[in-house]
Amino acid sequence: MAQHSLHVDSVIKHFANRKVLSDIYLSCSTHEIVAIFGRNGSGKSTLMKIIFGSEKADNKFIKVDDNFLNQPFTKNCGIGYLPQHSFVPKYLTVEKVIFLFINANKTDSFISDAVIRTIKKKKVKVISAGELRYLEIMLILFSENKFAILDEPFKGLSPLLIEITKEIILQQSASLGIIITDHDYKNVIDIATKSYILKKGKLSPMNNAQQLTDLGYLPKLN
Amino acid sequence: MNNKKARLFIEFYKSTLFYNVLITVVTLLFNPSIYFFFISLCAVGFCASILFKEFYKKDQYYFYYNCHIQKKHLILFSFLSNILIVAIILIILLWLNILYM
């Protein structure tokens, strides 16, 4: 299996006069599941959009393998992004979404998934929020990508679907590098191979889960 | 352009067409003329449908971004498709007009 690397460095982003991101270094390779933790409004989603290329930054340095990229999603460099909010057009059927999004050689294995099989004939607007989120995660993980960026993938999923999704993320990490953020930190820690915490615009590597409390992401228990 | 991208461009165009035709039909109430219909389809209705998407369906652009298609290319394709369709209809109308004059 080919080994790929993603390097993100020197990202600077201001909103109005507020510096949101200023001291960022992040790397991810095939087989790695990189977790990013941070409070609401700390800039996690903004950072992920900058890496994907849909959000402009004041300064950034993004490299996939040996290629420097300005707007990664426009090139076929293999970065997929699951945004925080639903992105699949609601008027389409699940089957049509798969037909449009997934390459023909992967369609059969995609449709053979137990959850997808039960919803494939339905329109996206009638499936539940959890089923929709699961479909979107699957679309990103089964696309022809080298890296997948998942912004709050567990949002709205039932405990059973979370377990299934974690299993699929672990399986797909055999051929993908995955960057993930979610406030369901226990499930993220379960699967992460490397973690960072984003605070006051600075992304710091995490050595142990205790740092989530020390750096103010989790409340201190007396 | 490969088949997958072509299908996605067409799907985006179809999604703008519904709002475009709807708005164009409403504008016809103020000026019921076939030429105004065409102008609205290419300008007023089209811009309104893109603005509608920008305000209410913005996240759906990620469906296309994930397939390496930029927003500006989707909008340009839809605009040119409208022009092409209107041009074809106008030529047919002109031809029928010459035929039955």
Here the ipTM equals 0.92
More confident residue, A72 or A43: A43
The mean pLDDT of A191-220, rounded to a whole number, is 88
Total number of domains in chain B:
1
Contact A100 B60 (CB under 8 A): no
Please count the other Cβ atoms lying within 10 Å of the Cβ belonging to residue A66.
6
Q: What share of chain B is helix, strand, coil (3-state, %, to 5)?
A: 85, 0, 15
Strand ranges in chain A using DSSP code E only, listed in sequence order: 5-15, 18-21, 25-29, 33-37, 59-64, 67-69, 79-82, 147-151, 177-181, 194-199, 202-206
pLDDT > 80? residue A46? yes
Q: Report residue A163 CA to chain centroid gap.
A: 17
Q: For residue B99, what pLDDT is reported?
A: 61
Q: For residue B32, what pLDDT is reported?
A: 81
Please name the residue of chain A whose CA is at the shortest distance from the CA of residue B8: A100
Give B39→chain A minimum CA distance, Å.
27
Contact B8 A85 (CB under 8 A): no
- List CB contacts (< 8 A) between A101 and chain B: 63, 66-67
- For A5-214, which CATH superfamily applies? P-loop containing nucleotide triphosphate hydrolases (3.40.50.300)
CA–CA separation, A118 vs A140, rounded Å? Answer: 19
- List CB contacts (< 8 A) between B68 and chain A: 73-76
Q: For residue B34, what pLDDT is reported?
A: 80
CA–CA separation, B48 vs A184, rounded Å? Answer: 39
The mean pLDDT of A161-165, rounded to a whole number, is 96
- Please list, in sequence order, all residues whose beta carbon lies within 8 angstroms of the beta carbon of residue A29, skipping any fewer than 6 positions away: A3, A4, A5, A6, A177
Q: Report residue A92 CA to chain centroid gap.
A: 23
Q: For residue A60, what pLDDT is reported?
A: 93
Q: Which of A25-29, A70-74, A203-207 has the lowest mean pLDDT?
A: A70-74
Interchain CB contact of B2 with A (< 8 Å)? no
Considering chain A, what is the average pLDDT of its residues?
A: 92
Please count the other Cβ atoms lying within 10 Å of the Cβ belonging to residue A109.
10
- List CB contacts (< 8 A) between B57 and chain A: 89
- List CB contacts (< 8 A) between A143 and chain B: 66
pLDDT > 80? residue A92? yes
Q: Are B6 and B74 in contact (CB under 8 A)?
A: no
CA–CA separation, A142 vs A35, rounded Å? Answer: 20
Considering chain B, what is the average pLDDT of its residues?
A: 89
Q: Can you read off the two tokens belonging to residue B38? A: 């065409």
Interchain CB contact of B14 with A (< 8 Å)? no
Residue A123 identity: K
Each residue's pLDDT tens digit, A196-208: 999 999 999 998 8
Which of B90, B86, B64 shows the shortest CA–CA distance to B10?
Answer: B64
Q: For residue B26, what pLDDT is reported?
A: 86
Q: How buried is B101 (Cβ within 10 angstroms: 0-12 exposed, 13-18 middle, 19+ buried)?
A: exposed
Q: Can you read off the two tokens belonging to residue B83? A: 């022009």
Q: Are A36 and A178 in contact (CB under 8 A)?
A: no
Give A74→chain B minimum CA distance, Å.
5
Band (pLDDT 50/70/90 cuts) for residue B82 is very high
pLDDT > 80? residue B100? no
Interchain CB contact of A89 with B (< 8 Å)? yes
Q: Are A24 and A203 in contact (CB under 8 A)?
A: yes
Q: For residue B1, what pLDDT is reported?
A: 62
Q: For residue A216, what pLDDT is reported?
A: 81
Band (pLDDT 50/70/90 cuts) for residue B47 is very high
Band (pLDDT 50/70/90 cuts) for residue A222 is low
Boundaries of every domain in chain A = 5-214
- List CB contacts (< 8 A) between B16 and chain A: none
Of A75, A88, A89, the CB nearest to B15: A89
Domain housing B30: 3-100
CA–CA separation, A6 vs A147, rounded Å? Answer: 8
pLDDT > 90? residue B18? no
CA–CA separation, A83 vs A48, rounded Å? Answer: 9
Give B34→chain A minimum CA distance, Å.
30
Contact B70 A74 (CB under 8 A): yes
Band (pLDDT 50/70/90 cuts) for residue A30 is very high
Q: For residue B39, what pLDDT is reported?
A: 86
